[in-house]
Structure 1
Amino acid sequence: MTDLADTLADEMTARLKDDVLFIETDRSVEETEAFCTRHAPWRSVYRFSNGVTTESFPRSEHVPNPRCLAKLRRFHARIDLSRFAGKRVLDLGFNEGYQSIFMAKYLGCQVDGIEAYQVAVDRTSAIAEFCGAPCKFWVADANSFVAPETYDVILHCGLLYHLHDVWSAVKNSCRSLKPGGEVLLETTSYEGADKFDCKFMNWHAKGNHNYWALSPETIRYLFAEFGCTEGREVDSFEVGALAGTGMKRTMMWFRKPA
């Protein structure tokens, strides 16, 4: 890497080390506290340079995520995120916007994000504006959304197993990539006796929006089928809720050849 690239890679490592989103801001403490109060309860941790943190405000009981940048940190340890500087990014299922805001604010990416509900779009758009991150969010169905050859990078984190039409979702993601574009995927996977075994997980976490935990080999096959012929598993780990089930959280990288 060049000296500039080395510097940017080191900066990304420093910004990701605590797994929370640090926001440099010139807004006052009073203004920031009022903002955090207005948008509570929070699912993730934002820490502002003026000392205010969302940790001091009510936390959502719905899937709280105190380590919201852990996935980006794990990816960065294996796939240098600094190479995405200035790229056009799609964040599928952006949640509370932390990955989108990080990529826009600190890598200068042009970030679009889709979610299933207008309330999520409105709230996250307000958070991004307050943080000074020029992101665009809107409501769309990740099963069917497609923007042919538009994006350099797609963040597909924590979403695949929530989608009822995985075949179409993967096809549309691959179609939305520019030639040479890359996908960072994190999902629940299952490894059974056969490399293509999958597990129906509708029961998991008492949710009726959890569908299939696919095997890593099945995921690789799907992405290759739709043009992302370069791909590999970059990380895999158990979490408490999955212990003993044969399921893991798996992180994968894919690329559509130029």
Structure 2
Amino acid sequence: MANLLTDRAFWVNYWESKKGLAVQLPSNYLFHRQLAEIISKNSVKNAIELGGFPGYYAVFLKKYFDLDVTLLDYFVHPPVVNELLEKNGLTEKDIHIIETDLFNYQPEQTYDLVLSCGLIEHFNDTADIIKRHIAFVKPGGTLFITLPNFKAVNGWFQKNFDKENYDKHNINSMDPALLKRICEEAGLKDVKSGYFGRFSIWLENEAEKSAGVRLFKKLVWLSGKIFTRIIPFESKSLSPYIILEARK
């Protein structure tokens, strides 16, 4: 499993450290415009979120688009998922859950929409993990992948103030041209890959950082927001995310 930059213990500790995971998801949740366009344009009926515990996007797609949704992850803690569902007016019957190792699982069905948000960058072999996504996409279906852009200012912040978290990411995967090439070589069409968002920075478990780090982060965040409001653009240096979209 050399391809994997994290293990089960990492994710158990990661999620156990999080508080307030059950939140009410708004209709303008991150990437909502892109997802709404895909669903409308391609008459999407079902979707699977890979590596998405506690299932924010699966819940979002069920809540606002009434899709038949599935959540697949290596680690799933049902009480957390159920609390998230309840917070959003749903029940455990509204979502299918598959707890499995993606590397030892053969898809039992394919989907109109296959998405992951913040998954592929945790693997050394970017082409391999993307191909595992593609295996879930039905002919004519859509692949939608997002990942953080740690080649931007946010990455500098992570590297300097949360090196342990930074090292859990494959920085080389954060390349829109690479992602597009992998999809095209895999036979996908209508491939779009690029930077998303004008500016943002974050730190995992920020409350545990020193007061000085938190203050510095706030100042950088505010300065970046003001700058990109005056001169709005998306770029490798500032944009916090990368989006990859393709058709099978």
Q: TM-score, normalised by structure 2?
A: 0.61
Match of 2:244 among 236, 239, 252: 252
Q: Deviations over 1:140-159 (max 9, x none)?
A: 23455441761110112121
Matched, 1:81 2:39: yes
Instruction: Report the CA distance shift for 1:127/1:240 in structure 2 as closer, same or farther (over 3 A).
Output: closer
Counterpart-to-counterpart distance in 2, 1:100 and 1:69 = 15
State the distance in 1 between where 2:84 and 2:60 align. Answer: 12
* Alignment gaps of 5+ in structure 2: 1-17, 203-220, 225-234
- The answer (yes or no) to whether the contact 2:46–2:68 under 8 Å persists in 1 is yes
8 Å Cα contact 1:182/1:255 also seen in 2: yes
C-alpha distance in structure 1 between counterparts of 2:158 and 2:195, whole Å: 24
Partner Cα separation in structure 1 for residue 43 and residue 181 of structure 2: 29
Correspondence 1:41 to 2:1: no
Do the aligned partners of residues 87 and 115 (structure 1) sit closer, same or farther apart at CA in structure 2, a change above 3 Å counting? same
Q: Which residue of 2 aligns with 1:175?
A: 135
Q: 1:223 to 1:251 in 2, by over 3 A?
A: same
Which residue of the partner structure matches residue 108 of structure 1? 66
Cα pair distance change 1:70/1:104, threshold 3 Å = closer
The letter of the residue matching 2:59 is: I
> Structure 1 residues 229 and 189, CA, compared in 2 at 3 Å: closer, same or farther?
farther
Match of 1:90 in 2: 48
What is aligned with 2:84? 127
Q: Counterpart of 2:241 in structure 1: which amino acid?
A: R
Q: In terms of mean alpha carbon deviation, does 174-183 or 68-77 score higher?
A: 68-77
Identity score, percent = 18
Counterpart selection for 2:148 from 165, 188, 212: 188
Amino acid at match of 1:100: A
The 10-residue stretch of structure 1 (204-213 or 133-142) with the greater mean CA deviation from structure 2: 204-213
Contact 1:89–1:151 (8 Å) recurs in 2: yes
Alignment length, in residue pairs? Answer: 190
Letter of the 1:209 counterpart: K
Bigger relative contact order, structure 1 or 2 (CA pairs below 8 A, ≥6 apart): 2
Residue 70 (structure 1) shift: 3.1
Counterpart among 220, 238, 241 of residue 180 in structure 2: 220
- SS at 1:70 equivalent: coil
5+ residue gaps, structure 1 = 1-39, 48-66, 193-198
Retained in 1: the 8 A contact 2:53–2:71? no
Matched, 1:211 2:170: yes
Distance 1:203 1:235 in 2: 20
Question: Does the 8 Å contact 1:236/1:249 carry over to 2?
Answer: yes
Pick which of 86-95 and 150-159 moved more. 86-95
Instruction: Indicate which of 225, 234, 239 corresponds to 2:200.
Output: 239
Higher strand fraction (1 or 2): 1
Query: Residue by residue, what CA displacement relative to the aligned partner does 1:213-252 show, whole Å, maximum 9, x if unpaired?
Result: 4310100111122222221136523322598984741122
- Once the two structures are TM-superposed, the CA of residue 94 in structure 1 deviates from its matched residue by 1.8
Residues 85, 109 of structure 1: 8 Å contact kept: no
CA distance in 2, matches of 1:69, 1:138: 27
* Counterpart for residue 8 of structure 2: none
- Contact 1:87-1:152 within 8 A present in 2 as well: yes
Partner of 1:161: 121
